[in-house]
Amino acid sequence: MENVEKAALVTGASRGIGRAIAIKLAREGYVVAVNYAGSQAAAEEVKAAIEAEGGRAIVIQGDVSKAEDVDRVFGEIKKEFGRLDVLVNNAGITRDSLMLRLKEENWDAVIDTDLKSGFLTMKAAAPLMMKQRKGAIINIASVVGIMGNVGQINYSAAKAGVIGMTKTAARELAARGVRVNAVAPGFIATSMTDVIPEKIKEGMIHSIPLGRMGQAEDVANAVCFLASDEASYITGQVLKVDGGMVM
Ligand code: NAP
């Protein structure tokens, strides 16, 4: 690809929050790599939506919980863009169950996809960003990583880990001009929360001071702020986007 001045990679960008982040970054002039694991048609649709608005995007398949896939994804980033300015670690899954019933394989799947993936991608992105002496990494955590949640011991552990990992990476990379922050969404309307029964959803909305579920765009706005030069003095922070749920 020619004339790439600003490049971004969004993991898990085929739908939901990642899709909204990819579209918003493209509107702000980034050439965007739309990563997905299995949903190829949805990822191609995100690319088409970006191009329909005059933006530029590529689609890169890769399971970011696997080191060999992350190596391949970054090989393509280097070949296509030759640089990376923004990395958004958004890919995530849930495998909910009460602790006493949680299977080890569902602990491992969530830790690998929601936590280890960020370590793998940051390790691959950091050398590119350090060479540029500039870069922004935004890791998508969750308020559940701060407050815990019944039935989500694997997910809350992964998201708390994302917060710790963000702060360490922020300290290690600051001297090279690379900022690392986390965004902790609350209760956002996506396919991840579609499966929650209506009655439980109503109860959750009741506990949100702003009185509504968030939209993927609410999270994308916060991510794009942290990616921008307007946030150039902000690193190692966790920005909650939760309608006031946790304060
Ligand atoms: P979603 O609608 O289920 O989308 C998840 C995305 O991640 C999909 O694009 C999926 O692509 C991708 N993905 C899953 N496993 C992957 C892997 N191993 N490698 C690459 N991509 C992978 O979820 P969402 O609600 O938008 O959530 C996005 C992020 O926000 C997650 O980290 C989630 O934990 C966090 N979050 C969400 C909420 C909420 O209320 N929705 C609240 C707090 C935090 P494929 O289909 O191709 O696998």
- Closest by CA to 204, choosing from 186, 184, 222, is 186
Residue 146's pLDDT is: 98
Residue 145's pLDDT is: 98
Q: Which atom of ligand 1 is nearest to the CA of 159?
A: 34
Q: Which residues pair with 88 in a beta bridge?
A: 10, 138
pLDDT digit string, tens, across residues 196-238: 999 999 999 999 999 999 999 999 999 999 999 999 999 999 9
Residue 22's pLDDT is: 99
Angle between helices 117-132 and 153-173 (to 10 degrees): 20
pLDDT digit string, tens, across residues 73-107: 999 999 999 999 999 999 999 999 999 999 999 99
Count CB neighbours of 168 within 10 A: 12
154 C-beta closer than 6 A to ligand 1:
no
* Percent of all residues in the chain with a pLDDT value above 90, rounded to a whole number: 99
Three-class SS of residue 139? strand
The one-character DSSP state at 114 is I
Q: Are 94 and 69 in contact (CB under 8 A)?
A: no
Residue 162's pLDDT is: 99
How far, CA to CA in Å, does 231 sit from each of 136, 137, 162, 179, 243? 10, 12, 20, 9, 21
> What does the mean pLDDT of the chain come to?
98
If you average pLDDT over residues 12-27, what whole number do you get? 98
pTM exceeding the 0.95 threshold for the entire prediction: yes
Residue 246's pLDDT is: 97
User: Which among 30, 36, 155, 233 is annotated as catalytic?
Assistant: 155
- How far is Cα 131 from Cα 15, in angstroms, rounded to an integer? 31
CA dihedral 67, 115, 80, 4 (to 10 degrees): -160
Is residue 155 among the annotated active site residues?
Answer: yes
How are beta strands 86-89 and 135-140 bridged, if at all? parallel
Residue 106's pLDDT is: 98
Q: Are 176 and 127 in contact (CB under 8 A)?
A: no
In the reported structure, the alpha carbon of residue 197 is separated from the centroid of ligand 1 by a whole-number distance in angstroms of 19
User: Beta-strand (E) ranges in 11-114?
Assistant: 31-36, 57-61, 86-89
pLDDT digit string, tens, across residues 125-155: 999 999 999 999 999 999 999 999 999 999 9
121 C-beta closer than 6 A to ligand 1:
no
Buried b (16+ CB within 10 A) or exposed e, 38-64: eeeebbebbbebbeeeebbbbbbbbbb
If you average pLDDT over residues 111-128, what whole number do you get? 99
Residue 59's pLDDT is: 98
Residue 46's pLDDT is: 99
- How far is Cα 55 from Cα 150, in angstroms, rounded to an integer? 41
CA-nearest residue for atom 29, ligand 1, is 90
